[in-house]
């Protein structure tokens, strides 16, 4: 029996702020060898057909990565995040008539030994085929307080062990006790089962979740897109009524047929800056540096820098994360509190809590480099062959200066080409479009001026990406 990977891609990764933000969370960041965790997950599962459960706002980032790696299948788009119980349930409902097993994999884990991982999955196929929900427990090698734990019970006839108890993130003392007992695994949050097995368990232990998901999927919408990929959207209003809860709380802690298979390979959920640092080599005094960072007379320092120099002088045990619009400096002991910090920033209405200065779009990106009263300056990059929507603005005019590549400009009834060092002006209310007809990325400087410069001052007349 085959299995279909279901990649759970809905997390926001706030513990890795300010690099990871809701608009561009950690699974999309090129954290390891210039590859994202999502890309590494797609490569690890090897299957050409897969399913991804992702947020609506991230759909084009997921699609782009699937197409670039030759993957195909369904991208289930959650209109709002409802945690893993709902995400896994709508995936099982989408495949309820399939004979294949479903392998639920978080999109943000690091597992370097793909062969060992797949061999472990294959060893668990008979147990899942027999009706168990299989989970995979990582053999712990230190008393982590950042992971949940699974207590193994008796050996199962199909292999593995019955899961006797799920333990939430413990204190340091309790974590040491669990490690020394030798009977506990870290909970990796990876599951293998038949669609019907999961749906029966959700019906038994979380019937309200199943009811909401069934109703949302009954009126789902499908959108066929490029390269044998399909967007599937559950009903937004119905899905919003679903209870938000993890699959562990909703089902696994109660179910009597959860079987845990040991996984002895390297694994990380890359859930904190400490976890990111541990994936990197250190110098003789424990310093780890990414980017343009320098540690002078310092020990056990982690610096994640961008283009500008970031210098740590005479300090110990610090993490420094530098981005163009926010800097985080913390003691290593406080890495688990970054998530709480982001909530405080959100409460104070800091836009940096949610979005980056550089914003991804399906056609490319833009970066707001300066702004003031009645003006804003952006760098805009457009992928080869891509174009922005045909649009107009009610409150702002725009000046475009081409700095790299070739631009095809639509301005009312005119269509003309601009190249490097050429420019044009788009008055208020004029219909316009920017397209890249070339083979290299187009980059422009856009200077906006007017009484209101918000992103919602866009009247889209025609769009290649289905946006309103």
Higher pLDDT, 1 or 181: 181
Q: In this predicted model, what pLDDT tens digit does every residue of 333-345 receive, in sequence order?
A: 999 899 999 999 9
Instruction: Report the first-to-last Cα separation within the chain, whole angstroms.
Output: 42
Distances (CA, A) of 247 to 107, 259, 311, 422: 16, 15, 43, 55
DSSP state of 255: -
Between CA 195 and CA 193 the distance in angstroms is 6
User: What is the structure's pLDDT at 467?
Assistant: 73
Distances (CA, A) of 103 to 192, 254, 266, 267, 409: 4, 20, 19, 17, 46
What SS3 state is found at 371? strand
User: What is the structure's pLDDT at 334?
Assistant: 94
Q: How many CA atoms, within 13 angstroms, populate the side-chain half-sphere of residue 429? A: 0
Q: In this predicted model, what pLDDT tens digit does every residue of 184-231 receive, in sequence order?
A: 999 999 999 999 999 999 999 999 999 999 999 999 999 988 778 999
What the chain holds in terms of domains, given with CATH numbers, is 3-263 (3.90.550.10), 276-344 (no CATH), 358-462 (2.60.120.10)
Distances (CA, A) of 28 to 45, 69, 276, 283: 17, 14, 14, 28
- Among the listed residues 382, 354, 352, the one whose alpha carbon sits nearest the alpha carbon of residue 366: 382
Band (464; pLDDT cuts 50, 70, 90): confident
Dihedral (CA of 213, 217, 223, 226) sign: positive
Residue corresponding to tokens 């085959």: 2
Q: In this predicted model, what pLDDT tens digit does every residue of 438-462 receive, in sequence order?
A: 999 999 999 999 999 988 899 999 9
Q: In this predicted model, what pLDDT tens digit does every residue of 118-155 receive, in sequence order?
A: 999 999 999 999 999 999 999 998 898 889 999 999 99
**0.85 surpassed by pTM:** yes
Q: Can you read off the two tokens belonging to residue 69?
A: 């790696």
DSSP letter string, 192-258: EE-HHHHHHHHHHH-HHHHHHHHHHHHT-EEEEETTTEEEEE--HHHHHTSPP--HIIIIITT-S-E
DSSP letter string, 144-159: -SSS-EEEEEEEPTTS
Q: Are the CB atoms for 191 and 155 separated by under 8 Å? A: no
Between CA 285 and CA 309 the distance in angstroms is 20
Between CA 182 and CA 386 the distance in angstroms is 55
User: What is the structure's pLDDT at 107?
Assistant: 96
Q: In this predicted model, what pLDDT tens digit does every residue of 343-359 receive, in sequence order?
A: 999 999 999 999 999 99
Between CA 213 and CA 206 the distance in angstroms is 11
Cα-to-chain-centroid distance, residue 209: 23
Residue corresponding to tokens 């300010």: 18
Rounded mean pLDDT of the chain? 94
Q: Are the CB atoms for 225 and 63 separated by under 8 Å? A: yes
Question: Is the pLDDT assigned to residue 331 strictly greater than 60?
Answer: yes
Q: In this predicted model, what pLDDT tens digit does every residue of 67-118 receive, in sequence order?
A: 999 999 999 999 999 999 999 999 999 999 888 999 999 999 999 999 999 9
Beta carbons within 10 angstroms of residue 317's beta carbon: 14
Measured at the CA of 310, the angle between CA 304 and CA 312, to 5 degrees, comes to 95
User: What is the structure's pLDDT at 1?
Assistant: 47
User: What is the structure's pLDDT at 11?
Assistant: 84
Q: Can you read off the two tokens belonging to residue 163?
A: 């899961």
User: What is the structure's pLDDT at 156?
Assistant: 82
130-134, 157-161, 166-170, 246-250: least confident range = 157-161
Question: Is the pLDDT assigned to residue 51 strictly greater than 90?
Answer: yes
What SS3 state is found at 193? strand
Residue 365 burial (CB < 10 Å; 0-12/13-18/19+)?
middle
């Amino acid at each position: 029996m085959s299995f279909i990977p279901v990649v759970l891609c809905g997390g926001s990764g706030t513990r890795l702020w300010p690099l990871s933000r809701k608009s561009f969370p950690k699974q999309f960041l090129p954290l390891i060898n210039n590859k994202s965790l999502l890309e590494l997950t797609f490569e690890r599962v090897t299957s050409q057909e897969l399913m991804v459960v992702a947020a609506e706002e991230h759909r084009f980032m997921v699609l782009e990565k699937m197409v670039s790696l030759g993957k195909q299948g369904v991208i289930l788009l959650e209109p709002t995040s409802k945690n893993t119980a709902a995400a896994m349930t709508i995936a099982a409902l989408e495949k309820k008539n399939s004979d294949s097993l479903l392998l639920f994999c978080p999109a943000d884990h690091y597992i370097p030994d793909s062969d060992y991982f797949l061999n472990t999955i294959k060893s668990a196929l008979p147990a899942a085929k027999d009706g168990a929900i299989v989970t995979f427990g990582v053999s712990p090698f230190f008393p982590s307080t950042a992971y949940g734990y699974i207590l193994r019970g008796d050996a199962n006839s199909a292999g593995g062990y019955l899961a006797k108890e799920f333990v939430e993130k413990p204190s340091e003392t309790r974590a040491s006790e669990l490690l020394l007992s030798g009977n506990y695994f870290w909970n990796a949050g990876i599951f293998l089962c038949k669609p019907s097995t999961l749906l029966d368990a959700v019906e038994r232990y979380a019937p309200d979740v199943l009811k909401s998901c069934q109703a949302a999927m009954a009126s789902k919408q499908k959108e066929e897109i490029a390269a044998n990929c399909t967007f599937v959207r559950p009903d937004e209003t119905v899905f919003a009524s679903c209870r938000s809860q993890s699959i562990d709380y909703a089902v696994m802690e109660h179910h009597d047929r959860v079987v845990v298979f040991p996984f002895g390979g390297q694994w990380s959920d890359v859930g904190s800056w400490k976890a990111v640092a541990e994936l990197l080599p250190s110098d003789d005094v424990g310093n780890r540096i990414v980017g343009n960072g320098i540690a002078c007379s310092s020990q056990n320092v982690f610096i994640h820098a961008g283009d500008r120099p970031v210098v740590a002088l005479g300090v110990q045990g610090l993490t420094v994360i530098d981005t163009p619009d926010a800097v985080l400096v913390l003691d290593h002991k406080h890495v688990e509190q970054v998530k709480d910090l982001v909530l405080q920033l959100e409460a104070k209405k800091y836009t940096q809590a949610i979005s980056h200065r550089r914003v991804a779009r399906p056609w490319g990106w833009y970066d707001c480099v300066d702004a003031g009263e009645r003006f804003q300056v952006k760098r805009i990059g457009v992928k080869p062959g891509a174009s922005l929507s045909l649009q107009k603005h009610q409150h702002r005019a725009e000046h475009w200066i081409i700095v790299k590549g070739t631009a095809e400009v639509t301005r009312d009834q005119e269509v003309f080409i601009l190249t490097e060092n050429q420019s044009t002006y788009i008055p208020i209310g004029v219909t316009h479009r920017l397209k890249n007809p070339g083979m290299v990325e187009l980059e422009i400087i856009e200077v906006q001026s007017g009484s209101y410069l918000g992103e919602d001052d866009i009247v889209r007349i025609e769009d290649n990406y289905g946006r309103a």
